[in-house]
Amino acid sequence: MSGVEVITFGCRLNTYESEVMRAEAEKAGLNNAILVNTCAVTGEAVRQARQAIRRARRDHPHARIIVTGCAAQTEKETFAGMAEVDAVLGNEEKLKSASYRALPDFGVSAEEKLRVNDIMSVRATAPQMVKHIDGHVRAFIQVQNGCDHRCTFCIIPYGRGNSRSVPMGAVVDQAHKLVDGGYCEIVLTGVDATSYGADLPGTPTLGLLAKTLLKQVPDIRRLRLSSIDGIEADSHLFDLIAGETRFMPHLHLSLQHGDDMILKRMKRRHSSADARAFADQVRRLRPEISLGADMIAGFPTETEEMFENAMRLAEDCGIAHLHVFPYSPRPGTPAARMPQLDRALVKDRAARLRATGAALHARHLDGMVGSEQTLLVENNGLAHTENFTLVDAAGLKPRALVPVTITGHNGKHLTMQVKQMAAA
């Protein structure tokens, strides 16, 4: 092979950083190389990364394979010990062209493969400019990195470091660049996005950043947020939800559970009542809003009653897009030392929670039939409505914004009819 290929796992932030990695590696003159940007959020994510590395070596026996990302940061020796891997870079090192110029030659020891520094020593996030996001019709902008919280199940702070924000001016500059490149939808992303600004002069908030972007980059047609903590939502964010049509009516919440005791054992900062109150408030402000959420099934010590509380919260909040994770113990986290549930029980509860999510999604689809929407058409024959619901859009031009009437659904995707434009 020639050039640089990037294999990306995990979140939108990783997707954004993969474009930075590609640009920095090419700037350094790297060639015939595969960069694997890993995720550490679950043991399954790490397993998939190892599998992809072995497959990449089989398919490209003479390519240089460089592994980076959160799993490489938290399990560096694991990846350095793989015969298929030529180098391991940390999450900070992967964004610098100098790291790729300094790569060791083939045949070095596992220790010499490593270029992973202490992520906790990183105190700032430098703005990273990209011109496009490969394969995506919406553009992501990193506004924040790291996390100051220590949820008992989560290894990510040890892969990303403490919270640090990108200065507002740099975010505005990046948005201008992406809009000039043809993107009409921007997604603001981070590890703990709603903590944005606490480390910046004047302590701006995520909501204020979003307001500023829409004012200073008027050609942004649609603005979204990645996953947020509702407990950290600020008044500027509520203003946008209530009154800004370019701010899309969809929020993805980091709920994790619906039982108050489990939430405490997770060291989450919200209660089940907080979650219900947030859902009620945003629906009062924007009735058409849809909510997504992450929830964990089978957390240590979870009883049947506690699990039923989680299902009840998803129903009470009307979660239209539920992402279910069977609990996965991550070595080094407090939850991994708690009394664990039988894996078969964890799997069963995850399946039951997914069934709840499927029923809620079907109810959401029913409620959208007959509505008028504007779609952003993807590259795969699908499209997203303003509230991030998938629509079958076969035959429509990718990247286009298309007004439609929703005619029905097939249980997974909405169906539509393109609205006829009135004659001039």
H helix and E strand count, the chain: 14, 18
Of the candidates 170, 167, 227, the residue with the CA atom closest to the CA atom of residue 199: 167
- The amino acid at 285: L
Strand partners for 294:
254, 323
CA-angle at 268, arms to 116 and 38, nearest 5°: 30
Distance from C-alpha of 123 to C-alpha of 109, rounded to nearest angstrom: 31
Contacts of 213 (CB under 8 A, 6+ apart): 171, 172, 175, 186, 188, 220, 223
Q: What is the dihedral of CA 138, 143, 148, 154, to 10 degrees?
A: 20
Distance from C-alpha of 53 to C-alpha of 373, rounded to nearest angstrom: 41
Q: Residue 424: pLDDT above 50?
A: no
- Over range 393-405, report the average pLDDT: 92
Answer whether 144's CB lies under 8 Å from 192's CB. Answer: yes
pLDDT of residue 422: 45
pLDDT digits (tens, 9 = 90+) for 25-55: 988 889 899 999 999 888 889 999 999 999 9
- Over range 7-35, report the average pLDDT: 89
pLDDT of residue 136: 81
pLDDT of residue 126: 57
- Over range 324-348, report the average pLDDT: 95
Q: Residue 169: pLDDT above 80?
A: yes
Let me know if 131 is exposed, middle or buried by CB neighbors in 10 A (0-12, 13-18, 19+).
middle
pLDDT digits (tens, 9 = 90+) for 274-309: 999 999 999 999 999 999 999 999 999 999 999 999
pLDDT digits (tens, 9 = 90+) for 128-140: 656 666 678 889 9
What is the band of 185 on the pLDDT scale with cuts at 50, 70, 90? Answer: very high
What is the band of 423 on the pLDDT scale with cuts at 50, 70, 90? Answer: very low
Q: What is the dihedral of CA 254, 131, 128, 384, to 10 degrees?
A: 0
Q: Rounded mean pLDDT of the chain?
A: 91
Whole-number percent of the chain with pLDDT over 90: 73
pLDDT digits (tens, 9 = 90+) for 106-160: 545 455 677 777 666 666 665 565 666 667 888 999 999 999 999 999 998 888 8
pLDDT digits (tens, 9 = 90+) for 199-223: 999 999 999 999 999 999 999 999 9
- Over range 176-182, report the average pLDDT: 92
Q: Residue 240: pLDDT above 90?
A: yes
pLDDT digits (tens, 9 = 90+) for 50-79: 999 999 999 999 999 999 999 999 998 999
pLDDT digits (tens, 9 = 90+) for 70-105: 999 999 899 999 999 999 999 888 988 888 887 755
Residue 71: which region, alpha, beta or left (left: phi > 0; alpha: psi -120 to 50)? Answer: alpha
